[in-house]
Structure formats: structure tokens, C-alpha cells
């Protein structure tokens, strides 16, 4: 074996090890948010030294070396930054980055509930059953792990259901960042039904931005139980596969990616029946569109992670534009427009 072959094998070893230990990054991030490190640094008001961080976390000084090792990985992963402080400029201090600012507890928007939700054992455990699931008969690895499907599990475990709904609401809160860019999409509409809209986070954002828009959230009974209506927002318990209330527009945010193609077609056909037939109505979809040719490598990787998540937890998938188009045409729609405006997600307008 020559030097080049040996070098290639060692590079391959590094690649294999990196992906074997990818979970270390996730679990270290989980630890950082559980300890509340982003909030501690934010409350400090400036970059914080290791000893100041250990003291603020109320940890024993003997843990300092371990905290330093955790922070070294988190800095490498881009969640924190370092800078030199003190008179001699030799002591290192930790500061927030845009990523860790998204994990602050009391800031808007915050993805902290989403992170804690995805780290929940109910979602993490099924990955251990993925290989068994391929050889078994259950619909999903989630069912293999828990003996029931995801939605049934949420219905029977109120604590997990609350964590999951908070996670989805925190993700929806990101829509505040771009609602001003979406005004042409929602202006002129008098009514909108948010199908699978959870606890109404997106609907509330829309109601605030467009006071003349009457919004309805259609969700499963255990999700919307006891949620109060307001002047232009109401909640309806129902099943999107059976019926969707009529409206100028139907909104589907991260709903279709949790469904297989057959289920998507059923929902899209119900949407087609619910909007006006004069060409004035439309379906508004906020979801992932896979585009490996145009997206950056990290973006595509994140989208593919979501695709695997949909396979493991529910029966859904992430789709390319060609796959979305096939669904739209089969459901009876004539045209669509895709606008990549939500980071990993795009806004898709679908017309009769």
C-alpha cells in the first residue's frame, strides 16, 4: 500500500468515526440547553469566563474541566464563540452566536422548546429500532419502539403531547421573522383554515398581521381541547381526512410532510373542495422542498435528516419539487408557485 492509499483510508476512517459519533454533538447540545448555558451567558451581559460560567451554573468547581471540554465542542460546532479577556488578554471567555441566541428561554423567536421536544426519549428511542423495523411489519420504527403510532402515543401521554405541541409552536414562531415578506400572499383573503395548526401559533401571528382575516384552526380533539376562541380566531376539533371547513385559503404548515402520498392526496382533495371554485381560492403550504442541486450541502443534509425523521416517527417524507407537482396535479390542481422563504422550508401556493 502506497502513501496515497494509506492517506485515503485514514481520511475514510475519520469520515466513518465522525458519523458514528454524530450523536455526541446532539447529546452535548441537549446537555448545554438543559443546563441553561445560553441563558446564563445572555444574563451575564457579556462574554463569560469558565469560572464565571461554572459559578453561575451552580456547579462544583471540580466540574470546571468537564464544562471546558463541553464548551470546546460547542464552540467547534458553532453554538458559542470565544474571545480573549482580562488585562493580559490570555483568559478565554464564551459568548453567544446566532445559533445559541435561538436557544434562549424567554426570547422571541426561540427554538428551545423544539430542541427539547426532539431530544425527548419518546422521539429518540425509535432510532434504536430502525434496523429491526426494516425486517418487521410495523408502520414505523416509532410503533416498533412504543407499540403504537405517534399520534395515538400523543393522545395517551398528555405530558409528551404538551412537549411536542410546544416544540411545534416554537418552530412556528419563526414565521414572525418573514411575515412582512408574505403580505402579498395573505392580503385580500377574508378567511383561512389552518389545517393541523396545533395550538394556533401561526394562526395568531396571521391574525395579528392581518386583523381583517378570520382564521380557523382545524386539529385533533385532544390538541385543541379547552383552547379559547378570540375575535378572529376559532378552534375546531375535526379530522382533515373527512372534511375541511370552507375558506378563501387553506394553510398546511408542516402537515403534509408527516403523511404518505396516499394520505396527502386525500387531504389535498379535501382542500380543493374547501376553497372557492372560481379560481380565487388557494392552498398555502409551508414545507420542505428538497433541491440538492441548488441548496448548500448543510441545508440538504438538514432536509434529509428531516426526511429520515418523518420515516422513523410517522409515515411521511420530504419531497422534491417534481414529487410535490405530481401530488398537486393528481389532486386536481392546475398550477403552483414555490417561494423559498423559510430557511429549510418553502412557501408553496397551489391553485385550482
Active-site residue, 257 included:
yes
DSSP label at residue 160: H
Element (H, E) at 175: none
Do you know the residue count of the chain?
Answer: 352
d(CA 307, CA 288): 9
Distances in Å between the alpha carbon of 326 and those of 50, 54, 241, 270, 335?
A: 54, 55, 19, 17, 11
- Sheet bearing 80-85, strands edge to edge: 48-49, 91-96, 80-85
d(CA 159, CA 175): 26
Written as one string, the DSSP assignment of 102-156 is TT-TTSSS--HHHHHHHTSHHHHGGGGGHHHHHHS--SSHHHHHHSS-HHHHHHH
Catalytic residue among 19, 60, 146, 257: 257
Distances in Å between the alpha carbon of 53 and those of 74, 152, 201, 311?
A: 14, 42, 34, 39
List, by residue number, the catalytic residues: 257
Amino acid at each position: 500500500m502506497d502513501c496515497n492509499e494509506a492517506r485515503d483510508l485514514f481520511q475514510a476512517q475519520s469520515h466513518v468515526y465522525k458519523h458514528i459519533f454524530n450523536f455526541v454533538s446532539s447529546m452535548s447540545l441537549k446537555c448545554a440547553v438543559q443546563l441553561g448555558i445560553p441563558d446564563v451567558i445572555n444574563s451575564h451581559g457579556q462574554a463569560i469566563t469558565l469560572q464565571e460560567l461554572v459559578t453561575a451554573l451552580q456547579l462544583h468547581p471540580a466540574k470546571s474541566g468537564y464544562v471546558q471540554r463541553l464548551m470546546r465542542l460547542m464552540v467547534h460546532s458553532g453554538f458559542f464563540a470565544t474571545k480573549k479577556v482580562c488585562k493580559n488578554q490570555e483568559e478565554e471567555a464564551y459568548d453567544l452566536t446566532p445559533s445559541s441566541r435561538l436557544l434562549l428561554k424567554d426570547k422571541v423567536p426561540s427554538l428551545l422548546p423544539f430542541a427539547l421536544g426532539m431530544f425527548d426519549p419518546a422521539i429518540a428511542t425509535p432510532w434504536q429500532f430502525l434496523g429491526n423495523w426494516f425486517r418487521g411489519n410495523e408502520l414505523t420504527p416509532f410503533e416498533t419502539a412504543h407499540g403504537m403510532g405517534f399520534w395515538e402515543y400523543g393522545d395517551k401521554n398528555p405530558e409528551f403531547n404538551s412537549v411536542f405541541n410546544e416544540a411545534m409552536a416554537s418552530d412556528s414562531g419563526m414565521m414572525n421573522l418573514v411575515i412582512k415578506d408574505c403580505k402579498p400572499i395573505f392580503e385580500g383573503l377574508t378567511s383561512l383554515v389552518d389545517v393541523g395548526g396545533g395550538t394556533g401559533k401561526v394562526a395568531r401571528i396571521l391574525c395579528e398581521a392581518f386583523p381583517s382575516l378570520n382564521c380557523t384552526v382545524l386539529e385533533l380533539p385532544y390538541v385543541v381541547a379547552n383552547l379559547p376562541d378570540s375575535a378572529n380566531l376559532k378552534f375546531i376539533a375535526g379530522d382533515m381526512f373527512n372534511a375541511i371547513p370552507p375558506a378563501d385559503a387553506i394553510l398546511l404548515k408542516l402537515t403534509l410532510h408527516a403523511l404518505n402520498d396516499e394520505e396527502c392526496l386525500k387531504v389535498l382533495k379535501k382542500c380543493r373542495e374547501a376553497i372557492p371554485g372560481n379560481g380565487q381560492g388557494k392552498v398555502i403550504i409551508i414545507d420542505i422542498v428538497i433541491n440538492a442541486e441548488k441548496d448548500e450541502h448543510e441545508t440538504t443534509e438538514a432536509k434529509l435528516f428531516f426526511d429520515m425523521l418523518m420515516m422513523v416517527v410517522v409515515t411521511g417524507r420530504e419531497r422534491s419539487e417534481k414529487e410535490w407537482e405530481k401530488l398537486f396535479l393528481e389532486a386536481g390542481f392546475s398550477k403552483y408557485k414555490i417561494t423559498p422563504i423559510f430557511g429549510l422550508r418553502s412557501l408553496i401556493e397551489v391553485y385550482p
